[in-house]
Structure 1
Amino acid sequence: MLAMPEINCIKLMRNQKSLSINHISKTLGINWRTAKKYADEDDLPVEIERKKSGMMYEQKWGEIVGDWLWEDQKLKRKERRNNKGIFSALQEMGFRGSYRTVSYFIKEWREGREDVEDETKDKNYERLIHPPAEAQLDFGLMQAVQDGKYKDIHCLVMSLPFSNAAYVIPLPAENQECLLHGMKMIFKQLAGIPKKIRIDNMKTAVIKPRNRNEEAVFTDEFLHFSNHYGFEPQACNPYSGNEKGSVENKVGYVRYNFITPAPVIEDLEYLTRLLEQQLTTDRQRIHYKKQVPLQELLEEEHQYLLELPEEEYPVFKEEKVKANKYGEITLDKVKVYVPKAYNYTGLSVVKYWNRFKVLSPHGEVLYEDNRPYMHKNREIPWKSILKAWLSKPRSVPYSRFSTYLPGRVYEYFNISNLSIRKERINWVLALLATHDMNEINNEFYELLNGQTDALKDPEAHPYDVDWNKYDQLQKAPEIEGEVR
């Protein structure tokens, strides 16, 4: 039987284009009789009659038992007939069937009623068995420290429940460009593509969530992406995070094992490599149930994965925009100035996951830059942290925040004398009233040598140190993942 799109094509060629049966048969490469059948014959749906057979349905016995069961619904539980009592009563009436036949009928009757007794329901949860090459996907919000400031990281986490392996790509946002770029990166790390990927109802992929009567409706861009890579997208029911419990647990596992406390990073590419290295090492641990290393299970799962396509999917989104009279366009809810933008009635913006470019109607690139959220960060509350250190100066080397200090300030506090450390903390705390921590680090020599009002008094800072010589002797930190 042909699929409906093929049947529609045959009907169109026959009725709209008036093509012959032979022509249709040769064009579509199908049998002449098949072309004739679908071109000229009416293919009307036929309602299938499902008639139940057996003595309980073909004779009076089913109707009698149904009446008894209906009457019993109005009585208390202890007063109702059980299966054995009903069977005995039927035998007294001349019933020649078996006890099993009666029991099957009673079970089917009860399951078909809305007012089924609670005792007939199986209240146990079914243990899920995850086949290989099926994955679950979700975002998790985490944070890192970049350039001395907090940066929100939207980690795209993919879990493979069969092997319990995980892959994580840190991203700056959760829009469609970031989602598809992150999935591409995961496929590269995995060196394959899962056959099915379950997601929640994120707006970047799902237009309309699934309900009791209809399947979920995915965005055209996400369907185009899934068709290119060959996986089947699956959407969860609304408010049903348990349907992707594996990745929900994996988001927490990644957060508490690899990104707590917040790591110091150079950029997202650095964090991507760091997480890939950590998760590769993590796959040497033993599976909690199967008692074999995760890596062995992942290697077994690899044979079920789809191959990567020869050509990568280009991830971008193009939109039409219009500049205001100041030559500004709105991108990611931020006003962006574009030179010469007001000279044109309409512009095009091509958005990638991390950057964008603005094109004139003639295709000229007017402006390109990183997307605004790439520069988005939050200040570390250094004032409250330093005040806490004043009360406990001994805790400074062991504090999670000490690794976030810029290099010169970090070395300035790295002294064994607690009274001197306390005075130095006080001095930096006073500077925070007019400078941020990065400015203090960049202008450290000038501030220390008394070029600000705070240090004109020679007794304000009695520790005369030649920091230029000290910097020449200082070695770069060797701790992996630590940037000063």
Structure 2
Amino acid sequence: CHGLMLVFEHIGGVPPVIVMDNATGAGRRNAKGEVALTGVFSAFVAHYRLEVRFCNPYSGNEKGSVENAVGFLRRNLMVPPMRAESYGQLSRLLLERCDGLARDSYCPRLPDVPVAEVFDEERAALMPLPSTAFDPVRWESRTADKYGLVDIDSNRYLAGPDSARSKVLAAIRWDTVTLASPATGELLAEYPRQYGRSRNVEDPALVLPRLAVKPRAWRESSIRPDVPDDIRAWLDSMDEKTLRESLKAIGDACRAAGFDPAMQACGEILRSNRDMGLHADS
């Protein structure tokens, strides 16, 4: 849905009809041959006032035309493989290459006319873009485990120890997973969405309070590599009592200001007076 939105915005309108290959993200075909749209895609179609057609699995020409178009774009836009700093930048680069391809290619039925020129004439058939942007999001209710972790698509995201064994509302978008309290709507955490499997995704600011209760787990904690070297070495050298107090103080600072500012403050404290320690007052 997000990809189609980018295309619609780029061409300045909405095509009245789109033809889909049998993409499971859009819909599933049952034994009778009927297609049931997914929740998000159904809302997307209603928002943009689209007519959607799915390829007939028994008509090779329909499915073949879609696959041929995909193959054409792969060969002409993605060879050699593209490099980009983000998915957003990659999308912009691909759209720019599509525009260049349209300018340099000629319409099969009109050999002397570039594709871009023919498409400019066809823009008149596009429907206007809606005045309100569509938010392609899937809402799901999950129960956190005893550590406050929520399982989404075979990955576990930390909602926080306060959410252990309680309901959590997850807003799943193509690039982010946002966790909130269903009772109050309070934002618990937001993470980049993971597309691998069996990963734990944790916000250091939410892990630190749990470590303060069990400071012996500090050396094996998942967030230890995220802590700067000088602060990590100082914490490693502390006895259990001081380590517990320091982790609690850092956790409080993270909740107030965020992980990176808290780490910067810790570094300043240790550089100015290493013996003072990382306590709540400092």
TM, length-normalised to structure 1: 0.38
Q: Which 5+ residue runs of structure 2 have no aligned equivalent?
A: 199-282
Give per-residue Cα distances to partners, 1:256-290, cap 9 Å, x unaligned. Answer: 12212212221111211211111111112211232
> Offset of 1:242 from its aligned partner?
2.7
Q: What is the SS of the residue equivalent to 2:178?
A: strand
User: What are the equivalent positions in structure 2 for 1:439-478 lying under 5 Å apart?
Assistant: none
The aligned residue for residue 122 of structure 2 is 301
* Counterpart position of 2:107: 287
Larger Rg: 1
Distance 1:210 1:330 in 2: 31
Partners of 1:210 and 1:238 lie apart in 2 by 12
Conserved 8 A contact 1:210-1:217: no
Indicate the SS of the match to 1:237.
coil
Q: Name the counterpart of 2:159.
A: 338
Decide which of 363, 369, 374 is 2:185's aligned counterpart.
363
Identity of aligned residues (%): 32
Equivalent of 2:133 in 288, 292, 312: 312
Look up the match of 2:90: 271
- CA separation of 1:326/1:231 partners in 2, compared to 1, >3 Å: closer, same or farther? same
Who is 1:351 aligned against? 172
Aligned CA RMSD, in angstroms, stands at 2.4
**CA, structure 1 residues 352+286, in 2 after alignment: closer, same or farther (shift >3 Å)?**
same
Aligned to 1:233: 52
Whole-angstrom distance in 1 between the partners of 2:29 and 2:66: 22
Deviation of 1:375 (Å): 11
Instruction: Return the letter of the residue paired with 2:100.
Output: T
Aligned residues: 195
Measure how far apart 1:215 and its partner are.
Answer: 4.3
User: Matched residue of 1:228: which SS?
Assistant: helix
CA, structure 1 residues 341+322, in 2 after alignment: closer, same or farther (shift >3 Å)? farther
Q: 2:194 is matched by which residue type in structure 1? A: P
Find the aligned partners of 2:30 and 2:54 in 1 and give their Cα distance: 7
What's the secondary structure of 1:278's corresponding residue? helix
- Return the offset for 1:305: 1.1
Taking structure 1 as reference, are residues 310 and 283 closer, same or farther at Cα in structure 2, changes over 3 Å only?
same
Q: Which residue of 2 aligns with 1:21?
A: none
Partner in structure 2 of residue 256 of structure 1: 75
- TM-superposed CA distance for 1:240, in Å, is 4.3
Q: Is the 1:196–1:234 Cα contact (8 Å) retained in structure 2?
A: yes
In structure 1, the partner of 2:61 is 242
The alpha-carbon deviation at position 192 of structure 1 amounts to: 1.0
CA contact (8 A) 1:358 1:368 kept: yes
CA contact (8 A) 1:258 1:275 kept: yes
| Structure 1: runs of 5 or more not aligned | 1-179, 377-484
**1:367 Cα deviation from its structure 2 partner:** 1.1
